[in-house]
Amino acid sequence: MSAPVYKRILLKLSGEALMGDDSYGINRTVIERIVAEIAEVVAMGVQVAMVIGGGNIFRGVAPAAAGMDRATADYMGMLATVMNSMALQDAMNRAGLDCRVQSALNLEQVAEPFIRGKALRYLEEGKVVIFAAGIGSPFFTTDTAAALRGVEMSAEVVIKATKVDGIYTADPKKDPHAVRYQSLSFDEAISKNLQVMDATALTLCRDQKLPIIVFSIFKAGALKRVVFGEGEGTLVRVE
């Protein structure tokens, strides 16, 4: 088999991807399936860093957060990403993967602090590194955290894992005539407001010439096809 096209990736996983068909929380079967996909590419020598959202956890308390101070709500969301990171780390360890969680918030009892040099060394040693708590500041999404950590880790691509197999001209669940883009430029994604990631994340990736691939984590073998450059998902390219 040929070598992977991408040797170091930043995988952005939405919290909602961990729910499966549940209303909120973590579906054990789903998380084990996702870990199996990651283990497959790690075994091929791909260095994997990750950022995970917290929407699946925060969704359970969202009604109580209505009207809450935005910064407070954002910090709660950061803690939700830590919970997801811990669950993912546990699943990876049980699957035989060596995984480390680094948090942008000071939570030394459950996660290491984010230290760039240490994270890079972990990746070079073949460990999976999960970056929790976003960037540690409110008003910035985990999409922005993924873009920032991707640049800091010298990743070759940010891979956004979703429930949809790419970027479409419209919501494919609502519009049966929606067409999936094979690729598009950052400027196209921003001007068409395609909601690939938030504008801050897109702009950072564009300026740092870091491509993005959007794909479905629920298609068997899809992550491997992405890292081998087999046209899976949609590429947001650097021009």
* Residues flagged as binding site for UMP: 54, 74, 135-142
Give 21's pLDDT tier (boundaries 50, 70, 90). confident
Which string of DSSP letters, residue by residue, matches 26-51? Answer: --HHHHHHHHHHHHHHHTTT-EEEEE
- The band of 61, judged by pLDDT with boundaries at 50, 70 and 90, is low
**188, two tokens:** 């196209």
Q: Which amino acid is at 73?
A: A
Would you state the pLDDT for residue 55? 83
Q: Mean pLDDT over residues 110-116, rounded?
A: 97
Indicate the annotated binding residues.
12-15, 54-55, 59, 74, 135-142, 162, 168, 171
Which architecture, in CATH terms, is 8-237? 3-Layer(aba) Sandwich (3.40)
Average pLDDT of span 3-23: 89
Q: How confident is the model at residue 52 (pLDDT cuts 50, 70, 90)?
A: very high
Give the mean model confidence (pLDDT) for residues 147-168.
95
Look at 24 and 128; give whichever has higher pLDDT: 128
The span from the CA of 119 to the CA of 205, in Å, is: 20
Sequence spans of domains, the chain: 8-237
In the three-class reduction of DSSP (H, G, I as helix; E, B as strand; rest coil), residue 151 is classed as helix
Binding residues for ATP: 12-15, 55, 59, 162, 168, 171
The amino acid present at 108, given as its one-letter code, is E
Q: What is the pTM of this model?
A: 0.94
Mean pLDDT confidence for 83-102: 96
